[in-house]
Each structure stands twice: as structure tokens, then as C-alpha cells.
Amino acid sequence: MGARIALAASAVGASGFSTLLIAWASRSYVNVIRRKGEKGMELESADFLLRKITTTVWDTGILRASGRPFASWELPDEVYPPEGKTVQEGQCEVLAKTEDWKGRLRGQWIVQWKKNPAGMLVGKCTRQGSIVRHFNVAVELVDATAPSG
């Protein structure tokens, strides 16, 4: 009887562990991409309980290739001012936000502009709350959101 209980416990434990491993590996997987204005997009993924999480990036020019496993894009630690945009030293702005399935704010990716030793303005990005920073995006989703013409 004890062997049966041990066998059942190990099967349940292995199943739980593999579920957690799959949830970790797929948490950055983007299910839907929607355009948001001229330069932005919404990236929809899911949490551990498969509830919708939406991350809005207002300027997709800040997204970088990711070196993290199971992710193709990421929000960077450092950005430079876009051409034609004037920013002031010390100015802060929100580059991206993540909302849960009820529309509640979970986190933001915030840039603060500072001068580097060469005197150039550089944006240092910080996390506030629980923002989705890494995205695993299928090529088909990117092609579907590309502007036509």
C-alpha cells in the first residue's frame, strides 16, 4: 500500500513540476498582436492560469532582440532619444505598461533621461511593478500586423 501511495505522489509531483516548467517557458509567448496608433502595439500573452495579460508598447522602435531563451524581443535597459524628439535631462516617461485580464495595471517600463560621460542624453529604464519584459513572437503574428501597401 505504501508503494502505491509513493508511486501516486511521485506521478502527481512530476506532473506538477512539468506544468510549472511549461508555464515558465511559455509565459513570454505572445498570442495576439494588435497595432496601437502609428508606432505602438499591444502584445497579448497569458499568465499561469491562462488569463489574458496585455502589454502595450507605445513605440515599437525600442524593442530589441532578446538573448533570453524562449524570447525573441525584449524591452531594453537603455534607450536613446528617437530622432526628432526633444527630451530633457531628468525627464521620465512610460515606454510600456502591462495590464491583467481585468484591465488593472500590473507594471510599467519607465525611462529616465540622464547625460552620460560624453554629454549625450541616454534613457535608463526601470521596472515598476510586474511588467512583461520579454516576448516570444511568432513570425506569422508579425507579418499579420505589418502595414499593407
Instruction: Give the start-to-end residue ranges of the domains of the chain.
Output: 2-145
Q: Distance between CA 96 and CA 40 in Å, rounded?
A: 9
21-64: pLDDT as tens digits: 776 666 678 888 898 888 899 999 988 778 899 999 999 889 99
Q: Distance between CA 66 and CA 72 in Å, rounded?
A: 5
Q: Distance between CA 116 and CA 135 in Å, rounded?
A: 29
Q: Is the pTM of this model over 0.85?
A: no
* Residue ranges for the chain with pLDDT beneath 50: 147-149
Q: What three-state secondary structure class fits 96?
A: strand
Report pLDDT for 141. 66
Report pLDDT for 79. 92
Query: Which are the contacts of 16, defined by CB distance < 8 A and separation ≥ 6?
Result: none
Report pLDDT for 26. 66
